Amino acid sequence: MSKDKASEIPSMGREEYKTTLHDLQVELVKLQRHFIQCEDKILVIVEGRDAAGKDGAIKRIVQHLSPRETRVVALGKPSDRDLGAWYFQRFVPYLPTAQEFVLFNRSWYNRAGVEHVMGFCTDAEYESFMETVLEFEHMLVRSGMKVLKYYLDISMDEQKKRLKARRTDPLKQWKISPIDAQAVKHWEAYSVARNQMLARTHNPVTPWTVLRADNKRQARINLIRDLLARVHYSDKDESLLATNPDIIFEYQEIYVRNGMIAP
């Protein structure tokens, strides 16, 4: 992302952020009450580079929701058994059933990102994934599941800053992983993998929504607004849900070329 593009994103003061977040969290509670009554199933996939702000965004979404009907899934390294199974098999037990709201903090798209870049899968496994992932997702949608896919995009400078904070802040030590050290080193390879993933798996049924996440407050607010705008629930306050199209937008290839998506 160029500096000119980054400067287009307005700042948000602490009090405005707190007030707006509170109002949107009230809307999230309304949403949960509605889908419990209607036995809906909602799956939100949150992807992005290391330190893109996935944890923080998800935390604000689930903060005041019922833990009985809300789950955050962040799977670790696959076991030997997982490696011998159908790739999507390890994710199936965590999918939402009726009345559940599930957020995946990273997902099966690990295969299109870190596994592909770091050589944790073969080229054949990667290509098989890219050819079949939409069939899998469309099957979920046909079963009655609402599937929303978000990619949190940050600049290289912002990633460096956040990774440094992880190393120096004792409250963020749990976020440090061996992969962090490779994140900046393989920046360009991750950009290529991201671009291929978005181009090949964006579609009308399960489209990708890109969130420019250098500004944490604006990213969290716009993500929640977009999520609420995309689902039906009773007593929705539409006046709260207008998003900034410079911050959150449906993927188009031109955004890779014009700097809206970080190079």
CA distance 150 to 148: 7
Q: Is the pLDDT of residue 180 over 80?
A: no
CA distance 32 to 42: 10
pLDDT tens per residue, range 143-153: 999 999 999 99
pLDDT tens per residue, range 185-219: 999 999 999 999 999 999 999 999 999 999 999 99
The mean predicted confidence, pLDDT, of the chain is 94
pLDDT band for 36, please (50, 70, 90 cuts): very high
Question: Phi/psi of residue 91, each to 5°?
Answer: -90, -25
pLDDT tens per residue, range 94-140: 999 999 999 999 999 999 999 999 999 999 999 999 999 999 999 99
CA distance 62 to 103: 9
What's the pLDDT at 7?
Answer: 47
Q: Where are the beta strands (DSSP E) in the chain?
A: 41-48, 70-73, 100-105, 145-153, 208-212, 248-250
Q: Is the pLDDT of residue 3 over 60?
A: no
Number of neighbouring beta carbons within 10 Å of residue 163: 19
What's the pLDDT at 2?
Answer: 41
pLDDT tens per residue, range 52-88: 999 999 999 999 999 999 999 999 999 999 999 999 9
The 100-105 sheet, strands edge to edge = 70-73, 100-105, 41-48, 145-153, 208-212, 248-250
Please tell me the number of Cα atoms within 13 Å of 91 on its side-chain side: 20
Domain made up of 3-257: CATH architecture: 3-Layer(aba) Sandwich (3.40)
